[in-house]
Amino acid sequence: MNRLNGKVAIVTGAGRGIGAAIARAFAAEGAAVVLAELDGASAEATARAIAQAQPGARTLAVPTDVTQAASVRTAVAEAERAFGPVDVLVNNAGINVFADPLTMTDDDWRRCFAVDLDGVWNGCRAVLPGMVERRAGSIVNIASTHAFQIIPGCFPYPVAKHGVIGLTRALGIEYAPRNVRVNAIAPGYIETQLTHDWWNAQPDPEAARRVTLELPPMKRIGRPEEVAMTAVFLASDEAPFINASCITIDGGRTALHHE
């Protein structure tokens, strides 16, 4: 407890899934948490749930469209007004866009990159000036194992996630002399609503679920809380020399040799 005591954190896409788990974990560790979420109602609901579970927790839900730089800047300004300078940013907001490369529409391409890559850059660009000035800060970008291994039929999502890794490394190196760390987390299969939605969209949802559970060597998929634990670590003062790196959370799936 209190590993993030006194820190101010912004978590994008914090209304559900991994983002909500990170917001809960940050609050439990003493951070003041701003839930920056396109769906304002889900952010408010998560903030209320945190307050009920953790009396005294400091939270603020701010409707935020990460594809719009001005919206992200507004969220940062509201965080600063409510709690003070931002110490931690978690760029979690993202969407799945899976299509055939040659039949995909231009709108799908732009939508994928607007959220999954531009949205990360908009967050970084909004908090970096203050972090650089104070010579302190931690940015955690949520990437994906799609950034390392390509699954047919998932284009252009992995292209955007490769970009997130590149952005993480480039910014981490650029601002290392100012003591600002930029890292990434690459989750594999995590049991979120998006995962359940994908299972339910298959012809045989239960069969799709069984196949998914068999893929990782640990024969299960991850929990949002397991991603949140790593985000807490990277955001905390326990990781002062971890920079421009990516931690994979996939139960060993990407390390497994496939015959």
Give the Cα separation of 101 and 98 in Å (integer): 9
Given a contact cutoff of 8 angstroms between Cβ atoms, the answer to whether 36 and 12 are in contact is yes
Burial of 228 (C-beta count, 10 Å sphere; 0-12/13-18/19+):
buried
Strand partners, 37: 63
What pLDDT digit, counting tens, does each position of 161-182 carry?
999 999 999 999 999 999 999 9
**What pairing do the DSSP bridges indicate for beta strands 32-37 and 8-12?**
parallel
Model pTM score: 0.96
Non-local CB neighbours of 52 within 8 Å, separated by 6+ positions: none
**Cα 146 → chain centroid:** 14
Active site residue 175: no
For the chain, the structural domain boundaries read: 8-191+222-252
Q: Which of the residues 26, 83, 157, 189 is marked catalytic?
A: 157
Burial of 129 (C-beta count, 10 Å sphere; 0-12/13-18/19+):
exposed
Please tell me the CATH code under which domain 8-191+222-252 is placed: 3.40.50.720
What pLDDT digit, counting tens, does each position of 193-229 carry?
889 998 999 999 999 999 999 999 999 999 999 999 9
